[in-house]
Every structure is written in C-alpha cells, then in structure tokens.
Amino acid sequence: MGISLAFDGPVAVVTWDDGDNRVNLDSLGRFNEIFDELDEVTGPLAVVITGTGKYFSNGLDLDRFANNLDELGATVEGMQRLFARILRFPAFVVAAINGHAFAGGAMLACTGDYRVMRADRGYWCINELEIGLPLSNAMAALIVGRLPRPSARAAMLTARRFDGASALAGGIVDEVTTEGEVVARSIEVAASIATKSREVLAVHKGQLMGSVADQFDPRG
C-alpha cells in the first residue's frame, strides 16, 4: 500500500496503491520523497506515474478534511507545488492512467508530458463543478495548457466524464490501450525518451509549461 518507486532500466515507475489514491498531506509527502530521490539521479531517466486497480487518483481526500478541515488549505497548496515540481522536472514524465482520474487526479495526469489511458474502463473528469470547489487560476491554466480548447471548455464548464475513447478523440490523452498494457506501454514510451538530453528537455518543458508551473509555485 502507499506509493512505491521501482526502476525498469532508466524508467522510474511510481505506483500509487492506496485504494482511491486520494491527495492528502501523507500522499503528497511521499510523492515529494520520491522526487527528492529522483533529483539525485544523473544520466538517463524518465518517469511513469500510475495507480492500481480502479483508480489512478480520485482527487482530494474530502473525507479526511471533514474531520481535519485545517488541512484543506495546506493540502491544496502542497498539491499545487507538486504539480509545479512535475511540470519542471528534468525528465520525461508519462501518466499511465489505469483507472478513474477525477479532479486533482485528472490534473495530476495532466502534469505528464505524455498520457496513456486504459481503453475499456475509467473516466478522466474535472468534477469541481459538481463538488462545489472552484479551480484555482493555476489549475485552470494547466487544463487549458494541456488540452485542446473544446475539451478544456467541456471539462471545466460541464464536468464531462471522458472515457478512454473520448479522451483520445478530445486530445486529453495521447493513446489508449488495454488494462494489462497501460503500464508496459507507458514504460516503453518513457524509455524511448530517457536517453535523450535531459538538459534540453528541461528547457523545452519550461518553454511549454513554465508559466503554468510558476503560477502553481512562483518560487521555482
């Protein structure tokens, strides 16, 4: 259970195995421990982020906040800093969307430089409209920056649930595959980029999404 790190050659596979895979201070702390470790890696590297079972991530841990309301602000702030960290991370990041990705989980998927989704089950959805929590300007910028405009509009203004086929057609993900191949295919894609120049990749990532990362965390 929890969040683990394993290596498949130069590909770091980050696996979230905690039921609904909710975002809270504990999961954020573990993600940052992993990226602290990856910061020390020199040479070829790419990253795959995935979940297990039914969920990639079901977003913020709303049940936990019901009993610990004081954690909400710190959790949202920490989630935004994590998004910035992944957007800036000097290696190619693939989101292997094995199941449902809702709200913060959908945005976590969007931090990936490439996204592979399970074709037969699972939704990608920005459902803040349904739960009554508006996006921050930085969150909106991430969605608009990663998605074609019609898909961003549908996601933000209708809370549409995109299955694999519609997510692919809408440009939310780059490809879809079977449940058993999501992680393997993501590792294959990541490995194909891992040996390319990480220094140049970091520059190009900054040119693409640096302004969004700066909105999430202006400290850089």
| Domain definitions of the chain by residue range | 2-216
114 strand-pairing partners: 94
What pLDDT is stored for residue 1 in this prediction?
Answer: 62
Instruction: Give the residues of the chain that fall short of pLDDT 70.
Output: 1
Alpha-carbon dihedral sign for residues 56, 72, 144, 189? negative
16-66 tens-digit pLDDT: 999 999 999 999 999 999 999 999 999 999 999 999 999 999 999 999 988
Residues with Cβ within 8 Å of 98's Cβ and at least 6 positions away in sequence, in order, are 50, 51, 52, 53, 55, 56, 118, 122, 179, 182, 183
Give the integer Cα–Cα distance in Å for 30 and 142: 23
Q: Phi/psi of residue 68, each to 5°?
A: -140, 65
As given in the structure block, the two tokens for residue 7 are 């290596």
What pLDDT is stored for residue 73 in this prediction?
Answer: 93
Would you call 97 helix, strand, or coil by DSSP?
Answer: strand
pTM of the model: 0.97
Nearest partner of 12 among 201, 190, 132, 197, judged by Cα: 190
2-216, what's its fold?
2-enoyl-CoA Hydratase; Chain A, domain 1 (3.90.226)
Q: Which residue has the tokens 């920490």?
A: 78
As given in the structure block, the two tokens for residue 116 are 């592979």
What pLDDT is stored for residue 67 in this prediction?
Answer: 84
